[in-house]
Structure 1
Amino acid sequence: MVNFLKLVQNENMKIYRRLRTWIMLGAIVLIPILISIIWKLTTDGPDPSNWHATNQEFGFVLMLITIFTVVQSAESVAGEFTWGTIKLLLIRPWSRSVILLSKYLSLILFALFFTVIAFAVTLLANIAIFGYTDNPGDYLARFSMGGQLAVDLSPWTLMLEDIGLQLVSLVMIVSFAFMLSSAFRSGGLAIGLSIFLLFAGSIITAILASANGTWVKYVMFIHLDLSSYLNGGDGPIPNHPMTMSFSLAVLAVYFIIFNLVSWTVFVKRDVAA
């Protein structure tokens, strides 16, 4: 176990040794602060609540974190082949499965670390600029959970629930990028297709909404936006009512498939050439 933790630590050192990682971190720290300042200076009406502003800004920042993690994921395996360091990694006394698991966990830790930092900075910046309120505000008050009106719940509960659901989408997209990186040794392909999945998901969902077949329910794209369940809705597609449990089950199947492909291809690949 200690050796495995050292392996994860080594993968994290590779990530944080790069200058671009710190540039990414600087971006997610500065962007919400700048947005809040511009919002304050350019709005003539009443200030939004700190929760409203945080929710709006953090959604954008989390999208950036997803893109940054996809970039790291794309090079996590494909980069080893590109730089020729994969042989040095595989001669160490660890199985290929353990090496791949350490890479995957380091990416998840990277995403979680950036998410925590981004949320803390965004919330504190909005408290400093707009003041603190215990009322979640009109924007978040429209949410309900289990039939309970959001206005009766703590704003912390609402915000953390929303972030948790968005993190599910992040993990799925990163897992997809990791699979492409492991299977095709192409960082560019992994980045391109994963970012396409991130931005085109809502468009594809809108197109599939007009389809009548039950197969629509099993397409991964439509389950990436789990926030549609927070307001008591029946899912992302009105004419195909679903539950959050069903959406999570579908995503779990895709998650298993992505990781099975990653591990199978990486373990069996010949790297002697």
Structure 2
Amino acid sequence: MMGILYNEWLKSWYGRKVWVFIIVMGVFLAGAVGLSLLTQANLGDPMNAAEFAEISVFMFPTFVMLFGVVLIAGAIAGEFANGTIKQLLIRPTSRHALLFGKWFGNLLFSLFMFFAIVIVSIVTGLFIFSTEGLSITEMFSNVFEMALYQLPTVVFYIALATLIAVLTKSTALTIIITFAPMFFSSLVQLFISQYEWSKWIIVSHVEFFGNYYSTDMAFGAPPFESMWASLAFLLAHIVVILLVAHLVFKKRDVL
């Protein structure tokens, strides 16, 4: 199993153009710094390091989710399309172990990139913006708390992309179908939030950060009063999605 995870890590790092993602994120980070400095100069309202880090950690996880979906699409659907999946299946490894290694390995890689962005955002803020009156320890704690509230959404979309990739065996369809709820879930939630039954619809729980951390972003009240109940509901769906993906992959014809 460790060999499969290591193999997927190497493929993600060297074979799936992670450097493009790093360059894109570097450009966005530089743009965020420039825009923040420009706004600060025009309005005369100085931004401190904590504010910059919090804005960055609020915005950038969306790009990590997009990147994670592209990674898992390439890891599963891409290998079906290229025929390289056959070379993996002839090895003395079960299909369950192979699929687990793919989605879990790419999830770990996505989370690594996620927290790397969080740390770079904090360090950038500390070097460029004011730290006067700030507690660095409290700043790290607050920003990492923001990041943790966004993790359930990241994990959900990578799990969903795993299922779609197994079902369609198409990289393009996996990306398109997974991106659809990513971009339209908030709109759907807006329309159904007025109904009592909406709390039992998974789309109401996907935006975990907006529901339980930045509540001003939520459409009405959170679906469940307890954050932990909502998290358990979301994780249950993730487990079901991955179980279905494993069952389908077990029976999937690779020819």
- TM-score, normalised on structure 2? 0.90
AA matched with 1:218: W
Q: Is 1:225–1:236's contact at 8 Å kept on the other side of the alignment?
A: no
Q: Which moved more, 1:235-244 or 1:50-59?
A: 235-244
Q: Is 1:78–1:182's contact at 8 Å kept on the other side of the alignment?
A: yes
2: CA distance, partners of 1:98 / 1:19: 21
Q: Does residue 97 of structure 1 match 2:96?
A: yes
AA matched with 1:187: T
CA deviation map 1:102-139 (0-9, x unaligned): 10121111111111221121111111111225648xxx
Q: Is 2:12–2:71's contact at 8 Å kept on the other side of the alignment?
A: yes
| Per-residue deviation, 1:23 | 1.0
| Per-residue deviation, 1:163 | 0.6
SS of the aligned residue for 1:17 comes to helix
Q: Which moved more, 1:74-83 or 1:52-61?
A: 52-61
Q: Does residue 84 of structure 1 match 2:83?
A: yes
1:222 corresponds, among 193, 204, 211, to: 204
- TM-score, normalised on structure 1? 0.84
Unmatched segments (≥5 aa) in structure 2: none
Instruction: Identify if the C-alpha distance between structure 1 residues 154 and 236 changes in structure 2 by more than 3 Å, giving closer, same or farther.
Output: farther
Counterpart in 1 of 2:54?
55
Instruction: Identify if the C-alpha distance between structure 1 residues 119 and 240 changes in structure 2 by more than 3 Å, giving closer, same or farther.
Output: closer
2: CA distance, partners of 1:133 / 1:243: 36
1: CA distance, partners of 2:127 / 2:134: 16
| Per-residue deviation, 1:63 | 0.6
Counterpart in 2 of 1:21?
18
2: CA distance, partners of 1:239 / 1:269: 39
CA RMSD of aligned residues (A): 2.1
Counterpart in 2 of 1:270?
253
2: CA distance, partners of 1:24 / 1:230: 27
Q: Is 2:49–2:130's contact at 8 Å kept on the other side of the alignment?
A: yes
Counterpart in 2 of 1:121?
120
Aligned residues: 250
Instruction: Identify if the C-alpha distance between structure 1 residues 154 and 232 changes in structure 2 by more than 3 Å, giving closer, same or farther.
Output: farther
AA matched with 2:69: V
1:206 corresponds, among 186, 190, 212, to: 190
1: CA distance, partners of 2:183 / 2:225: 23
Q: Does residue 191 of structure 1 match 2:191?
A: no
Counterpart in 2 of 1:158?
142
Q: Does residue 250 of structure 1 match 2:233?
A: yes
Residues 28-43 of structure 1: pairs in structure 2 closer than 5 A = 28-43=25-40
| Per-residue deviation, 1:248 | 0.8
AA matched with 2:146: D
Instruction: Identify if the C-alpha distance between structure 1 residues 90 and 134 changes in structure 2 by more than 3 Å, giving closer, same or farther.
Output: farther
1: CA distance, partners of 2:110 / 2:231: 20
